[in-house]
Amino acid sequence: EIVMTQSPATLSLSPGERATLSCRASHNIRNDLAWYQQKSGQPPRLLISAASTRATGVPNRFSGSGSGTDFTLTINGLQSEDFGIYFCQQYSDWPPRTFGQGTRVEVK
């Protein structure tokens, strides 16, 4: 099973700042990585697939990068609606498909 590790656990930032979230895979997953945003009481929302391809309707302030084992989600110019929890997920080697434990982006 591929283990996904996210850091940091919590990111405290002010609106307008840049958020940089990391995700590391225990094995090479090429670029088979997705990022999700989740807000309280809602299901996760797909933001990015194939490590860097934004899903339909996702603002271009969200960008993803990386391949192999190390990946980054960057949010440029945090908006109030961007605060929440972000998860990465690999779909390279399954079953099982696996998720990271999440990074909480909170208002500083």
What is the smallest separation between the CB atom of 63 and another protein, expressed in angstroms? 15
Whose Cβ is closer to another protein: residue 49's or residue 83's?
A: 49
What is the smallest separation between the CB atom of 88 and another protein, expressed in angstroms? 10
d(CA 55, CA 48): 5
Choose the binding region for another protein from 7-15, 19-27, 30-38, 73-81 (rule: CB under 8 A): 30-38
Q: Which of 14, 40, 96, 108 binds another protein (CB under 8 A)?
A: 96
Choose the binding region for another protein from 7-15, 37-45, 66-74, 76-84 (rule: CB under 8 A): 37-45
